[in-house]
């Protein structure tokens, strides 16, 4: 394993650079080319899987894409895996710059970022705030913070009341924000620089963040964070569902995949190619992960020992 000082320095450099990637001024909208049929998927900010429909999505600089998973076995997700995306570019032809993106346990898609540059409202309102879709990204509706906030990462969990708690990282203010009512109202949590956040699948008040100083955890709903002793210098991460044993899975700054148990025991697994832009655990009977790295969008059923490249156009 590399020297901890070197790893910490690498984490600081990489996390700082990529936390700022994609940030835009609120004075003007981002410059994004209009989508074309069959456009290749690139500059991906998020990937996620919907166990209710079996659909895999990639959120990118040029819209939200449905990902073809026909090359994967039925052990992928909830199966069968054979979803064809058709290669027709972003869903509904909408080229919004989708930064934060996640699929809640309820099946609702939540996102943030910047509007499609072809939308006349983009000049007046360059930040989307929180938006949601209940029809697989065919249409989106504003929830809150329109024109105000660009969440670079979003994580959700269902509370005992049935409401969806949303953690959103406001990159411009470098603050974690929290909503306990499906995104309608918000409060500020801790100020920190983070690349990725994930909610403990067994505890909605426990949230993890990859930071310049290493992996951090909050046990008070994001109000304060403390270092996770003995954890690898993760760059991206996701929570493993309780039904799959719980814990975390992530990729460190040296491209190594790691898993942890609920009691904090870490195990080195496979690896990715270069820097991971987006990462997600795929819910199902078998452990699958998705990563968009230097080799494109790929899926692994053995925590990174082997990978299958997925079509992206």
pLDDT (average), residues 128-142: 97
Joined tokens for residue 287 = 């452990």
pLDDT (average), residues 176-196: 98
Report if residue 35 sits inside a domain: no
pLDDT (average), residues 55-84: 88
Residue 255: give the domain boundaries: 4-27+42-308
pLDDT, residue 119, reads 82
HSE of 230 in the Cβ direction (CA atoms, 13 Å)? 9
Report if residue 313 sits inside a domain: no
Total structural domains within the chain: 1
pLDDT digits (tens, 9 = 90+) for 1-23: 444 443 444 444 445 444 444 44
Per the CB < 8 A criterion, the answer to whether 178 and 165 are in contact is: yes
Report if residue 34 sits inside a domain: no
Does residue 40 register a pLDDT over 70?
A: no
pLDDT (average), residues 97-110: 97
- CB neighbour class for 200 (10 Å; exposed up to 12, middle 13-18, buried from 19): buried
59: CATH: 2.120.10.30
Report if residue 145 sits inside a domain: yes
pLDDT, residue 39, reads 54
Report if residue 36 sits inside a domain: no
36-50, 126-140, 232-246, 276-290: range with lowest mean pLDDT: 36-50
Report if residue 224 sits inside a domain: yes
- CB neighbour class for 299 (10 Å; exposed up to 12, middle 13-18, buried from 19): buried
**Chain Cα centroid distance, residue 101:** 6
- The percent of residues in the chain predicted with pLDDT above 70, rounded, is 83
- The percent of residues in the chain predicted with pLDDT above 90, rounded, is 76
Indicate the pTM of the whole model: 0.88
Report if residue 222 sits inside a domain: yes
pLDDT (average), residues 171-175: 97
Does residue 257 register a pLDDT over 60?
A: yes
pLDDT, residue 87, reads 59
Does residue 41 register a pLDDT over 90?
A: no
In angstroms, the CA 142 to CA 120 distance is 16
Report if residue 127 sits inside a domain: yes
**What mean pLDDT is reported for the chain?**
88
Look at the alpha carbons of 221, 203, 106, 74 in this order and tell me if their dihedral is positive or negative. Answer: positive
């Amino acid at each position: 394993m590399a020297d901890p000082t070197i790893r910490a320095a690498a984490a600081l450099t990489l996390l700082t650079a990529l936390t700022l990637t994609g940030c835009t001024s609120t004075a003007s909208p981002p410059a994004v080319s209009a989508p074309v049929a069959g456009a290749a998927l690139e500059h991906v900010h998020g990937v996620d899987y919907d166990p209710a429909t079996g659909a895999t999505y990639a959120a990118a600089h040029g819209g939200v894409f449905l990902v073809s998973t026909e090359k994967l076995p039925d052990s992928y997700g909830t199966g069968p895996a054979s979803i064809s995306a058709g290669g027709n570019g972003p869903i509904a032809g909408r080229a919004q710059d989708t930064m934060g993106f996640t699929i809640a346990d309820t099946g609702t898609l939540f996102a943030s970022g910047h509007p499609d540059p072809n939308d006349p409202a983009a000049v007046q309102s360059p930040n989307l705030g929180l938006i949601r879709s209940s029809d697989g990204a065919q249409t989106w509706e504003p929830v809150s913070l329109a024109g105000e906030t660009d969440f670079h990462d979003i994580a959700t969990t269902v509370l005992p009341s049935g409401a969806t708690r949303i953690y959103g990282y406001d990159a411009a203010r470098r603050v974690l924000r929290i909503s306990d009512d499906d995104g309608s109202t918000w409060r500020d949590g801790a100020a920190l620089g983070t690349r990725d956040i994930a909610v403990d699948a067994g505890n909605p008040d426990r949230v993890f963040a990859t930071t310049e100083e290493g992996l951090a955890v909050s046990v008070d709903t994001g109000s304060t964070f403390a270092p996770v002793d003995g954890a690898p210098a993760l760059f991206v991460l996701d929570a493993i569902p309780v039904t799959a044993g719980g814990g975390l899975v992530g990729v460190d700054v040296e491209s190594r995949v790691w898993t942890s148990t609920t009691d904090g025991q870490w195990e080195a697994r496979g690896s990715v190619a270069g820097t991971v832009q987006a990462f997600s655990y795929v819910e199902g009977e078998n452990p699958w992960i998705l990563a968009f790295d230097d080799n494109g969008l790929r899926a692994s059923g053995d925590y990174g020992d082997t990978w299958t490249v997925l079509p992206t156009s």
